[in-house]
C-alpha cells in the first residue's frame, strides 16, 4: 500500500507526491478505491473509516477550505470567510454549504463564482482578519455576522449561539452589523443576535429555540440543573421548573458516557434521571432532529405549555 506524504494540515498535495515519485495515476487509483478523497485540484486527504458520519463531512470540508486557502492561487490574496471560516473556527452551522469554498477579497465589487470557489467582494478591515493554525480567516465575530446575514433566522440564531459559546464578543458583532446599514439580511441577523444565548449546547438546541421564537411560544430557561434522587439532572430546556424539554441529538448519549460506560449504560442512566424528574411532578418532553425537520416541535410543545399556563 502506498504511503502518501501529508502536510501539517493532513493534506496530500500533488507537488509532494510527484517529488516522491508517486504518479498521478497512483493517486487517482487510490481515490477510486476510496483510500483518498479529492478535495480540490491537486489536493487530496485520507478517507475516513466512516464516510457517512457528520463529523467526517465537517472535517473534510474544513480540509477542503484550507486546501483552497493555502493554494498558490489564493494564498495571501484572499481570506477564508462565511461557511469556510466557520469550519476552520470549529463553528457548527445549520444546513451548512459544503459544496463550495468561500473567500473574501477587499474590493468594492467584482465577486464571482468559479468552480468550487465563491469569492465575495467587500470591505475587510485588518481587525476582521485572524490566523488560525496559519490559515488566514475572518475573525470569529465577522464570520458569525457573514453567515447570519446569508441565512434565515434559524441559521442566524444557530451561528450566533455557537459564536457566543466560543467567547465571541457581542459588542463587536453588534458593531459589524451596524456598519452594514441596509444590506440584505441585516434585519434577520440583528434580531437573531438580540436573542442569542451562549448556554445553547448544540445546533439542535438552537434550532429548537428558533422554532419556539418564530411560533411565539414562551421562552424556556436553558441548562438548569435539578436535584433529584438520582443526583443532579441538567435539562436542555425548562419552563417554570414544571416542564422539561430535551433535544435528543445523535451524539447526546455519547457525551453522557463515563469511563467504562457503554451507550446502553448512558441510556439507562438518562431514563432513571427522567423518572426521577417525573417523581417530583416535572413532566418531560423529548424530540429529535427529525421533529425539527418536519416542523413538528411547536405542535408537540403547545399543548403542554397551554396546560402549564392554565394551571
- What number is the average pLDDT over the span 19-28? 96
| Domain presence at residue 67 | no
d(CA 178, CA 199): 25
Estimate the crossing angle of helix 54-69 against helix 82-89, to 10 degrees. Answer: 110
Asked if 58 and 87 count as a contact pair (C-beta separation under 8 A), the reply is: yes
Estimate the crossing angle of helix 170-179 against helix 140-150, to 10 degrees. Answer: 50
| Domain presence at residue 26 | no
- CA dihedral 87→97→67→46, nearest 10 degrees, is 90
| Pair (85, 120) in one structural domain | yes
| Pair (189, 207) in one structural domain | no
Which pairing describes strands 43-46 and 36-40: parallel, antiparallel, or unpaired? antiparallel
| Pair (148, 113) in one structural domain | yes
Asked if 22 and 4 count as a contact pair (C-beta separation under 8 A), the reply is: yes
| Pair (237, 292) in one structural domain | yes
Q: What's the sign of the alpha-carbon dihedral 270, 305, 224, 204?
A: positive
| Domain presence at residue 9 | no
Which pairing describes strands 101-106 and 117-122: parallel, antiparallel, or unpaired? parallel
| Pair (136, 224) in one structural domain | no
| Pair (190, 230) in one structural domain | no
- For residue range 106-116, list pLDDT tens digits in order: 766 667 788 78
Q: Cell numbers of 126, please? A: 485588518
| Domain presence at residue 237 | yes
| Pair (171, 211) in one structural domain | no
From 195, 230, 248, the end of a domain falls on 195
| Pair (155, 80) in one structural domain | yes
| Domain presence at residue 50 | no
d(CA 129, CA 119): 16
- Of all residues in the chain, the percent with pLDDT exceeding 70 is 88
Q: Cell numbers of 211, please? A: 422554532
| Pair (78, 139) in one structural domain | yes
Sheet holding 43-46, edge to edge: 12-13, 43-46, 36-40
Model confidence band, residue 253 (pLDDT cutoffs 50, 70, 90): very low
| Domain presence at residue 10 | no
| Pair (211, 131) in one structural domain | no
CA distances from 77 to 28, 69, 71, 120 (A): 30, 9, 10, 12
d(CA 5, CA 13): 8
Q: Can you give the CATH number for the domain in which 251 is found? A: 3.40.960.10
Asked if 76 and 49 count as a contact pair (C-beta separation under 8 A), the reply is: no
Classify burial at 52, counting beta carbons within 10 Å of its beta carbon; exposed 0-12, middle 13-18, buried 19 or more. exposed
- In the chain, the number of structural domains is 2
Give the residues across from 235 on adjacent strands: 224
Residues 6+ apart with CB under 8 A from 154: 94, 206, 207, 210, 211, 214
CB neighbourhood size of 241 (10 A): 13
| Domain presence at residue 146 | yes
Asked if 101 and 80 count as a contact pair (C-beta separation under 8 A), the reply is: yes
Q: Cell numbers of 263, please? A: 451507550
pLDDT at 79: 94
From 178, 195, 212, the end of a domain falls on 195
pTM assigned to the model: 0.89
Give the residues across from 117 on adjacent strands: 101, 114
Q: Is the pLDDT of residue 55 over 70?
A: no
- Of all residues in the chain, the percent with pLDDT exceeding 90 is 74
- For residue range 101-159, list pLDDT tens digits in order: 999 987 666 677 887 889 998 889 999 999 999 999 999 999 999 999 999 999 999 99
Range of the domain at 245: 203-310
Give the residues across from 112 on adjacent strands: 119
Asked if 9 and 133 count as a contact pair (C-beta separation under 8 A), the reply is: yes
- For residue range 184-237, list pLDDT tens digits in order: 999 999 999 999 999 999 999 999 999 999 999 999 999 999 999 988 999 999
Give the residue carrying C-alpha cell 465575495: 120
| Pair (191, 211) in one structural domain | no
From 150, 173, 195, the end of a domain falls on 195
d(CA 30, CA 198): 43
| Pair (242, 184) in one structural domain | no
| Domain presence at residue 241 | yes
Amino acid at each position: 500500500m502506498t504511503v502518501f506524504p501529508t502536510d501539517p494540515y493532513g493534506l496530500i498535495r500533488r507537488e509532494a507526491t510527484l517529488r516522491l515519485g508517486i504518479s498521478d495515476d497512483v493517486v487517482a487509483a487510490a481515490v477510486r478505491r476510496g483510500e483518498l478523497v479529492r478535495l480540490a485540484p491537486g489536493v487530496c486527504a485520507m478517507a475516513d473509516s466512516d464516510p457517512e458520519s457528520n463529523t467526517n463531512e465537517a472535517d473534510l470540508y474544513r480540509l477542503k477550505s484550507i486546501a483552497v486557502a493555502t493554494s498558490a492561487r489564493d494564498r495571501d490574496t484572499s481570506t477564508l470567510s462565511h461557511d469556510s471560516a466557520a469550519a476552520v473556527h470549529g463553528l457548527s452551522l445549520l444546513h451548512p454549504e459544503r459544496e463550495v469554498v468561500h473567500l473574501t477579497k477587499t474590493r468594492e465589487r467584482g465577486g464571482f463564482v468559479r468552480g468550487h470557489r465563491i469569492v465575495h467582494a467587500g470591505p475587510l478591515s485588518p481587525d476582521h482578519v485572524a490566523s488560525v493554525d496559519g490559515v488566514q480567516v475572518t475573525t470569529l465575530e465577522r464570520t458569525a455576522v457573514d453567515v447570519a446575514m446569508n441565512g434565515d433566522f434559524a441559521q442566524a440564531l444557530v451561528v450566533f449561539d455557537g459564536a457566543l459559546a466560543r467567547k465571541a464578543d457581542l459588542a463587536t458583532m453588534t458593531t459589524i452589523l451596524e456598519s452594514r446599514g441596509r444590506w440584505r439580511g441585516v434585519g434577520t441577523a440583528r434580531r437573531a443576535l438580540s436573542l442569542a444565548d451562549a448556554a445553547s449546547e448544540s445546533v439542535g438546541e438552537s434550532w429548537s429555540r428558533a422554532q419556539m421564537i418564530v411560533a411565539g411560544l414562551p421562552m424556556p430557561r436553558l441548562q438548569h440543573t435539578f436535584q433529584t434522587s438520582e443526583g443532579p439532572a441538567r435539562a436542555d430546556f425548562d419552563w417554570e421548573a414544571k416542564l422539561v424539554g430535551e433535544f435528543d441529538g445523535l451524539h447526546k448519549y455519547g457525551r453522557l458516557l463515563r469511563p467504562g460506560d457503554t451507550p446502553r449504560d448512558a441510556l439507562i442512566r438518562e431514563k432513571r434521571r427522567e423518572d426521577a424528574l417525573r417523581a417530583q411532578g416535572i413532566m418531560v418532553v423529548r424530540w429529535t432532529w427529525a421533529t425539527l425537520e418536519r416542523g413538528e416541535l411547536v405542535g408537540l410543545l403547545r399543548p403542554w405549555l397551554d396546560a402549564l399556563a392554565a394551571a
